[in-house]
Structure 1
Amino acid sequence: MFANPFSRQELDRRVAGFRQLLVRKQLDFAVLSAPENVFYLTGLDHWGYFAPHFLIVPVEGEMVLVTRAMERVTIETFVRNARFSGHGDETSPAAALVAEIRTLSGRAGVEMNTAGFSYPTGRALAEALAPREMTDISGWLDWMRQVKSPEEQVLMRAASRLSDRGMQAAIDALGNGAGESGTAAEVMAALIRDGGSPPGFGPFIRPEHRLGEEHTTWGEGDYLEGSRVFIELSGCVARYHAPQGRLIQMGRIRDEDARMAETCRTAFDAVCEALKPGAVARDVYALWQGHLDEIGCAHYRRHHCGYMVGIGFPPSWTGGNGVTGLRHDSGMEIREGMAFHILSWMMGTGRGDFFLSNTVLVGKAGGEVLSQTTNAPIEIERAMALSA
């Protein structure tokens, strides 16, 4: 969060590709409002996205970034391919956007389904553009972002190395008798110490009695001998994430969990092998589900066995306010360069519990696991007693 992470050639390629899409769709300019997409086209990485940022992208001519005037120094430092248009806090973001839009002509494409686009903005744009047509282009640039360029893949590999360090920090802290907050502190230090930025969310570190909670994290207690600890975390480098997760055993793993661990790992490996260009998401999910069906767990279903990752701004690392998952009903075609957080999540099956996840990059021959952390069960024998 201190420099633009992309080369000028990379940014030029992205902007040109998006403009070509606008031309094919017979649009004259676009208004982007998703932080991830503003970042993708400009490289602006800061925490100012809590306030609206609008990137105006004409088919020809300079782009314009509309946001609060107080962000001038940051934007002039980061952004080298768009003109800054700042407004005071006494001016509504919608009014500032409309003032720039009035100088443009032609058909507009507007990114509406984002965290940065409000109802007042939509209403103001509709009034300003009438009777010109306004097309919702939500998801268009998200689709382009799905395939990671070589520059992006370098950043994701760096994020994965930090994820490995964060997971090892958690294992070490648990082994040394750390409680919930102490373990979290060690993880956060490891994720940031060697060049990482604060991740989009997490880390999620939960004791056994809260395993079923999807998006909560550490509390103030201790981890008990004989229990399990859920850990899901991600390193973050230049807003790129590479999540991984494990179910840690405090002591010896139970027999039924060990058996489920074998199914979990086999299913994970099968998904990685299946992630080849041209594969279809629903077929990948069916392959994962099939391993559960074979052991008598056909009743157990997950909403997906993985989802796309890459750029992420708080409050998520999923790339926006939605999740592009490997679902049972998804017809999404797998493309080389995609990256997925693959989750072999087998908890609450009634036949044992296990969980592991890694970030996987799609190559020509299948999925490459970026993590170096073991997929085998991790059993921790504490080196010291818990403090009172």
Structure 2
Amino acid sequence: MLFTDEEYRARLAAARKRMARQGLSALIVTDPANIYYLTGYNAWSFYTPQLVFVPADGPMVLFTRAMDAGGAFRTSWLPPESIVGYPEHYVHRPTVHPFDWVAAALRERGLVAAAAGGCVGLEMDAHFFSPKAYRSLVHSLPEWTFVDSFELVNWVRSVKSAAELELMRKAARVCGGAMETAVETIGVGVRQCDAAAAISHSQITGAEEADGDYPAIVPMLPTGEAADTPHLTWSDSRFEEGQAVVVELAGAHRRYHAPLARTVMLGKPSQRLSTLAGAVAEGIEAVLDSVRPGTPVRDLARAWNDSLARHGLEKPSRIGYSIGVGFPPDWGERTVSIRSEDETVLAENMTFHVIGGMWMDHYGYELSESIRVAPDGVEVLTGFPRELIQKGL
């Protein structure tokens, strides 16, 4: 196990405190990142239905596919009697769902009646909680009143422990090595797919005393005119002279993520790109200078917007989000977003990906850092030259 029993108990206690505040008699957790956070269970099994049942009192129960349940104890702190596998014949069947069986198992354990006095929280926006899964629970457990848990466990995750921060610092080391590989590999005549392969190799190999994990998102490489659009991956096209390549990737270590974005220019940059790079760097500095415990998130967004406005620029989308544990398809925690309307107040040991992505007309630029809210300011977890990286001059 990565963490002590005491830390896992503290996580469960924090989740139950929020459950009580939200009037929940039980919570059903289906997000693999939240399952990992509460139980330590870590496997590529989230493509089939699985859940953790968290009662207001008493032991949690992990339900997963039978072939996965047999080995779940190898990463989880839960005792064997709290890890239950549903039968294989429930997998990928059109007329039945694994949660039909799970509901019956909860009833046999006497857990349904115990939770019927209040509302039961569901992770209604979790990536791997399907409409069919929801329908199965509603039909099988008519005694329960289901409500949205509103990312309850995600919010508990937003403030990191000392042990978590050490894992994130190791993830940042993996990230730095992957970005070095990206800069070394990207060049005129190189296929985009070959650059992506080299980056992926570095991400998984990791760094000394910081092995790499699979990242929640693949390397993203918007290139040339296509850099005006975020989240593009790669093709078999070859990089050309005069193209700017936006590189966004993450280092992952024990499922903790540290993302980073930089822009690589193959040749001499245009004046408009150089001007944009300078404006973004200035804006990111303004944001980082604003970070400290007790500061409203909206103040970070204001610092960014004010800095951009001095250059006649604006960015309508958010400029950052909370990070930590990540499973595909996302490394964000889906809680705090750095934007003007977010009312969250920064707390020590929150961690964020601050990203200055500017997608213009037929060109773009990205610069980002992974950060921690330190007692007296900001700790930048990632370390890489904060500039437009030029090659081939």
Superposition TM-score, scaled by structure 1 size: 0.90
How far the C-alpha of 1:131 sits from its partner, in A, is 4.0
Q: Give the secondary structure class of the aligned counterpart of 2:248.
A: strand
Matched, 1:203 2:215: no
Matched, 1:369 2:372: no
How far the C-alpha of 1:60 sits from its partner, in A, is 2.5
How far the C-alpha of 1:57 sits from its partner, in A, is 1.3
Matched, 1:274 2:286: no
How far the C-alpha of 1:177 sits from its partner, in A, is 5.3
Is 195-204 or 91-100 further displaced after alignment? 91-100
User: Are the equivalent residues in 2 in contact too, given 1:230–1:246 (CA < 8 A)?
Assistant: yes
- 2:318 is aligned to 304
User: Are the equivalent residues in 1 in contact too, given 2:188–2:238 (CA < 8 A)?
Assistant: no
- 1:93 is aligned to 98
Identical pairs, percent: 28
Q: How does 1:1-388 map to 2 (within 5 A)?
A: 4-82=1-79, 83-91=82-90, 92-102=97-107, 103-104=110-111, 105-106=114-115, 107-113=118-124, 114-175=126-187, 178-194=190-206, 195-297=211-313, 300-319=314-333, 322=334, 324-348=336-360, 354-381=365-392
Q: 2:143 and 2:205 mapped to 1: Cα distance? A: 54
How far the C-alpha of 1:132 sits from its partner, in A, is 4.3
Q: 2:72 and 2:204 mapped to 1: Cα distance? A: 24
Q: Give the secondary structure class of the aligned counterpart of 1:269.
A: helix
Q: 2:171 and 2:303 mapped to 1: Cα distance? A: 28
Q: Deviations over 1:259-281 (max 9, x none)?
A: 32222111101101112122222
User: Are the equivalent residues in 2 in contact too, given 1:110–1:137 (CA < 8 A)?
Assistant: yes
Residue ranges of structure 1 left out of the alignment (5+ in a row): 383-388
Q: 1:74 and 1:239 mapped to 2: Cα distance? A: 18
Q: 1:176 to 1:256 in 2, by over 3 A?
A: closer
Q: 1:220 and 1:367 mapped to 2: Cα distance? A: 40
Q: 1:376 to 1:215 in 2, by over 3 A?
A: closer
Q: 2:342 and 2:20 mapped to 1: Cα distance? A: 28
How far the C-alpha of 1:144 sits from its partner, in A, is 0.7
How far the C-alpha of 1:76 sits from its partner, in A, is 2.1
Q: 1:59 to 1:324 in 2, by over 3 A?
A: same
Is 86-95 or 173-182 further displaced after alignment? 173-182
How far the C-alpha of 1:165 sits from its partner, in A, is 0.5
User: Are the equivalent residues in 2 in contact too, given 1:208–1:227 (CA < 8 A)?
Assistant: yes
Q: Give the secondary structure class of the aligned counterpart of 1:311.
A: strand
How far the C-alpha of 1:128 sits from its partner, in A, is 4.3
How far the C-alpha of 1:52 sits from its partner, in A, is 1.3
User: Are the equivalent residues in 2 in contact too, given 1:200–1:316 (CA < 8 A)?
Assistant: yes
How far the C-alpha of 1:96 sits from its partner, in A, is 2.1
Q: Deviations over 1:45-100 (max 9, x none)?
A: 11101111110112332211111101023302112225111111323222122113
Superposition TM-score, scaled by structure 2 size: 0.89
How far the C-alpha of 1:157 sits from its partner, in A, is 0.7
CA RMSD of aligned residues (A): 2.1
Q: Give the secondary structure class of the aligned counterpart of 2:70.
A: helix
Q: Deviations over 1:111-169 (max 9, x none)?
A: 23122323333334334443443333131111111111111111111111111111110
Q: 1:347 and 1:54 mapped to 2: Cα distance? A: 39
